[in-house]
Structure 1
C-alpha cells in the first residue's frame, strides 16, 4: 500500500508540475506569438499540441538516455538551445509585430495574413520550437531526477507524466488564448490589435531577457 501511494504521489507531482511548467513565461511567449494570430481555437489547440509534442518528446528521449544508458546531453548543446530560445522568441515576436503592421496598413483581417504564412510551411514551427525548449530545459529536470528518484522506471514515469501535464496545460492555454482572440476579433477589432501588439512585445522582451542571462 505504501509503495502504491508513493508511485501515485510521484506521478501526481509530475503531472501537476508539468501543468505549471507549461505556464512558464518563455513557453507562453513562444506559443502566443505562433498561434494567437490565428483566431481559431482549433488552430490554437493544434499549435499548442505540436509545441507540447516537441517539448515532451525531447524530455522523454533525454530521460531514457540519461536514466537507462547513463548518457547526458553535452552542456554546450544545452547552452546553445537556451540561446536559441531567446533568438526564437525575438524573431517570432518581431514577425508578429510585422504582421500586425501589415494588417493595419492594408486593413486586412489577421486571419487573412496568416493563411499565407501557413501555406509557406509555418505549421511545423511550434513543433521545432517545442524541441528547442525541451533541450534547453532538459538539464535541470534530469539533474533533479538523479538526486531524488533512485529507480529508473519511476524516474522515467515521472518524465512522462510531467510531459503529459505540460501538454494539458499548454493545450488549455492555446484554446483559451485563441477563443479570446476570436471574440476580440469579432467584437472589438481595435482592442484585438492592442492585444497583438502586447503579445509581440512580450515575446521580444522575454527573448531579450533569455539572451541577457
Structure 2
C-alpha cells in the first residue's frame, strides 16, 4: 500500500476519533451511561455505539460507492431530525427514571383491614433501590449508534468521494474511520461515566441529581436540534 493511501487512512482514523466528539454523540452516550454502575459497562456502551455507527456508515458506503446511489439531502436531514428525537427520548426516559426512583406506589395490607390500598412514599438516600421501568431496547447504544451513522453518512460520503480513488479504498477508509470513532467513543463513555459510577456507590443522592441533569441536557439538545433541522428543511 502506497504512502499516500496510508496517510489518508491514518487521517481517517483521527477524523473518526474527532467525529465521536460531536455534541449529539456525547450527549446521547452521556445520557445512557448515567445509569452505569461500573466503568466496564460504561466502556461497553461506547463500543456498542461505535459498532452500530460503523455498520450503517459501511452500508451507506456500499450503496454510494458500490452501486452509485446518491443520498438525497432530504433523507440526510430527516435522519438528523431523528437524532433529535432520540436525544429527546433518552432525556425524557432518564428524567422519568429519576421520578420513578424518587416516588413509588406500593400496595399494603393491614391486619385490621380486609382490603389493601396503595401507599405512595419517597425513598431516602439509604433506601434507594433499582427498578427496571425503562424500555431498554429503545436505549440500546448500538441502535442509537446506527441512527447517528445514518445521519452522518451523507457528509462522510462526500468526504470519501473527494479523498479516495476507488470504491474499495473508500470502504476501507470508512472502516478505519469507524474504528477511530469507536475508539473515541470508548474513551468518552469511560471518562463521562466516572462521576456516575462513583456517586452511585458513595453519594446516591448526588447520583440522582446528575442523572437528572444529564436527562435535562439531552431533552434540551434534542429539541434545539429538531428546531434547527426543521427550519433547514423548510428553507
Output the CA distance in 2 between the equivalents of 1:135 and 1:41: 28
So what's the TM-score if we normalise by structure 2? 0.80
Residue 80 (structure 1) aligned with residue 78 (structure 2): yes
Residue number in structure 1 paired with 2:186: 171
Contact 2:84/2:225 (8 A) holds in 1: yes
Correspondence 1:59-208 to 2 at 5 A: 59-105=57-103, 106-107=122-123, 109=128, 112-113=130-131, 115-117=132-134, 120-122=135-137, 125-208=140-223
Contact 1:31/1:126 (8 A) holds in 2: yes
Give 1 or 2 for the bigger CA radius of gyration.
Answer: 2
Residue 37 (structure 1) aligned with residue 52 (structure 2): no
Residue number in structure 2 paired with 1:211: 226
Contact 1:62/1:72 (8 A) holds in 2: no
Answer 1 or 2: which has greater strand percent.
2
Output the CA distance in 2 between the equivalents of 1:18 and 1:135: 15
| Unaligned segments of structure 2, at least 5 residues | 104-121, 229-235
Q: What does the per-residue CA deviation read over 1:65-105, in whole Å, with 9 as the maximum and x for residues that have no partner? A: 21122113343332221111111101110111111122233
Residue 47 (structure 1) aligned with residue 45 (structure 2): yes
Q: What does the per-residue CA deviation read over 1:160-207, in whole Å, with 9 as the maximum and x for residues that have no partner? A: 111001111112222223333111222233332232122111111111
**Aligned-partner SS, 1:39:** coil
| Unaligned segments of structure 1, at least 5 residues | none
Which of 3, 7, 14 aligns to 1:5? It is 3
Q: CA deviation at 1:122?
A: 2.8
Output the CA distance in 1 between the equivalents of 2:14 and 2:177: 7
Q: CA deviation at 1:17?
A: 0.9
RMSD: 2.1
Residue number in structure 1 paired with 2:232: none
Q: What does the per-residue CA deviation read over 1:95-121, in whole Å, with 9 as the maximum and x for residues that have no partner? A: 1111112223342547x13x454xx54
Output the CA distance in 1 between the equivalents of 2:27 and 2:172: 28
Q: CA deviation at 1:14?
A: 0.7
**Distance change in 2, residues 1:42/1:116 (3 Å):** farther
Answer 1 or 2: which has greater helix percent.
1
So what's the TM-score if we normalise by structure 1? 0.87
Q: What does the per-residue CA deviation read over 1:117-145, in whole Å, with 9 as the maximum and x for residues that have no partner? A: 4xx54376222211111111100110122
